[in-house]
């Protein structure tokens, strides 16, 4: 993996270099001190991942990452910044895949880079990586958005009530979990519970996130969106009988993967509703073949890729990406979800 680090403080770059010295044989790392210098370096040799500070003189990190997304959409984008205010985080949500807060522990930075490296392995094709790199969020039907806002506007609204609304919608769940799993929150373990994410972020942050992050997209009112979301709810009901006596964390991750199983289809539908909607009428295997022919990967892999780069737990990402494939390991969310979905989809 080729990584370009951007920070206007040379001492910070020197610290990152020392921090990552044990991985110098695994990753090709370059270090520059400004946005314009980063663009010159990328023009000379594109990178797989750009890691940038937010507050820099001249060109900010947000401006830089927006330019990277426009010119090199296949490049993954990460913020590593000491900027802790909410507005800065929300400004970076669109052009950024991950947000890390500095000073960052070496193990946290290495884990984030390893996750990005794994995503590159998942989507080898430059075509689909470039396509996926332009996505900001997942389409959300306006009725669900309005219901969430009604809870937020209610003086007696609670995180539990809000979680009940957001937790039933793949688009809003992804948006909230994406930020909850960034280092902005500063947790050492991934968050898989929507209610816990809301509690950690706070109701005001969730309101701003749902508004600014752009979960309402063109195409979100397409009739097929409700059909796809209903498929996610159906998958949750189908998987629950398989979660009896399962470890609570595994059960939670499995249920989340079931609800998000069609996040890739939602994104593709939001990007090109009229082109993609007819594919939903095809049998599962034929649909996956057509998706691979058109986009370079199935919607399941696209969904798993995006969940991974957005920082959701790795077992959730793998379960979504490989939801109908032979399990890699028994007792995992992937195995449980594949088992729950197999009978009906095989018929």
pLDDT of amino acid 171: 74
CA angle 191, 206, 165 (to 5 degrees): 80
Question: Which CATH number among 3.40.640.10, 3.40.1360.10, 3.50.30.30, 1.10.3210.10 corresponds to the domain 223-346?
Answer: 1.10.3210.10
pLDDT of amino acid 207: 77
Strand order in the sheet with 49-52: 28-32, 2-6, 49-52, 76-81, 98-101
- Could you tell me where in the chain the CATH 1.10.3210.10 domains are found? 223-346
Taking the chain (347 residues) in consecutive chunks of 10 residues, what is each chunk's mean pLDDT? Answer: 95 93 93 97 95 91 89 86 61 65 79 80 63 60 72 86 86 80 65 88 76 50 77 87 90 86 85 87 90 86 79 81 82 90 57
DSSP 195-256: HHHHHHH-HHHHHHHHHHTT-S-TTTTSHHHHHHHHHHHHHHHHHGGGGTTS-HHHHHHHHH
Q: Alpha carbon of 38 to those of 10, 21, 91, 141: distances in Å?
A: 14, 21, 20, 38
User: Which residues make beta-bridge pairs with 52?
Assistant: 6, 79
**SS3 at position 1:** coil
Answer whether 344's CB lies under 8 Å from 283's CB: no
Crossing angle for the helix pair 263-271 and 299-309, nearest 10 degrees? 100
pLDDT of amino acid 36: 97
User: Which residues make beta-bridge pairs with 271?
Assistant: none
Tell which phi-psi region holds residue 186, choosing left (phi > 0), alpha (psi between -120 and 50) or beta: left
Instruction: Give the model confidence (pLDDT) of 192-242 as tens digits.
Output: 889 988 988 888 778 767 765 444 454 456 778 778 877 887 888 899 999
Question: d(Cα 34, Cα 9) in Å, to the nearest integer?
Answer: 9
pLDDT of amino acid 346: 40
pLDDT of amino acid 5: 97
**In the CATH scheme, what is the code of domain 2-122?**
3.40.50.2300
For β-strands 98-101 and 49-52, DSSP reports them as unpaired
- Could you tell me where in the chain the CATH 3.40.50.2300 domains are found? 2-122
- Tell if the pTM clears 0.85, that is, is over it: no
pLDDT of amino acid 228: 83
Question: d(Cα 170, Cα 228) in Å, to the nearest integer?
Answer: 10
Question: d(Cα 35, Cα 32) in Å, to the nearest integer?
Answer: 8
Question: d(Cα 214, Cα 246) in Å, to the nearest integer?
Answer: 36
Structure tokens of 282? 């095809």
DSSP secondary structure code for residue 7 in this structure: -
């Amino acid at each position: 993996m080729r990584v370009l680090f951007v920070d206007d403080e040379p001492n910070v770059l020197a610290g990152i270099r020392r921090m990552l010295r044990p991985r110098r044989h695994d990753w090709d790392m370059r270090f520059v001190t400004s946005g314009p210098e980063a663009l010159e370096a990328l023009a000379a040799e594109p990178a797989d991942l750009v890691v940038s500070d937010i507050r820099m003189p001249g060109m900010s990190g947000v401006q830089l990452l927006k330019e990277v997304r426009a010119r090199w959409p296949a490049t993954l984008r990460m913020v590593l910044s000491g900027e802790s205010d909410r507005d800065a985080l929300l400004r970076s949500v669109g052009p950024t895949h991950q947000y890390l807060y500095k000073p960052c522990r070496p193990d946290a930075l290495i884990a984030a880079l390893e996750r990005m490296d794994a995503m590159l392995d998942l989507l080898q094709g430059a075509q689909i990586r470039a396509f996926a790199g332009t996505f900001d969020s997942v389409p959300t039907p306006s009725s669900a958005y309005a219901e969430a806002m009604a809870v937020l506007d209610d003086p007696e609204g609670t995180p539990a009530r809000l979680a009940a609304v957001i937790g039933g919608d793949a688009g809003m769940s992804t948006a909230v979990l994406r930020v909850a799993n960034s280092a902005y929150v500063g947790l050492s373990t991934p968050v898989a519970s929507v209610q816990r994410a809301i509690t950690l972020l706070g109701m005001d942050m969730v309101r701003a996130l749902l508004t600014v992050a752009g979960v309402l997209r063109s195409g979100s009112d397409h009739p097929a969106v409700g059909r796809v979301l209903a498929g996610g709810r159906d998958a949750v009901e189908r998987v629950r009988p398989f979660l009896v006596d399962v470890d609570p964390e595994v059960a939670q991750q499995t249920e989340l993967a079931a609800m998000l199983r069609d996040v890739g289809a939602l994104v593709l539908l939001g990007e090109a509703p009229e082109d993609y909607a007819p594919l939903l009428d095809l049998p599962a295997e034929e649909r996956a073949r057509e998706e691979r022919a058109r986009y370079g990967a199935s919607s399941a892999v696209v969904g798993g890729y995006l969940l991974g780069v957005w920082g959701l737990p790795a077992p959730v990402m793998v379960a979504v990406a490989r939801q109908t494939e032979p399990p890699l390991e028994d007792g995992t969310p992937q195995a449980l979800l594949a088992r729950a979905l197999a009978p009906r989809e095989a018929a």
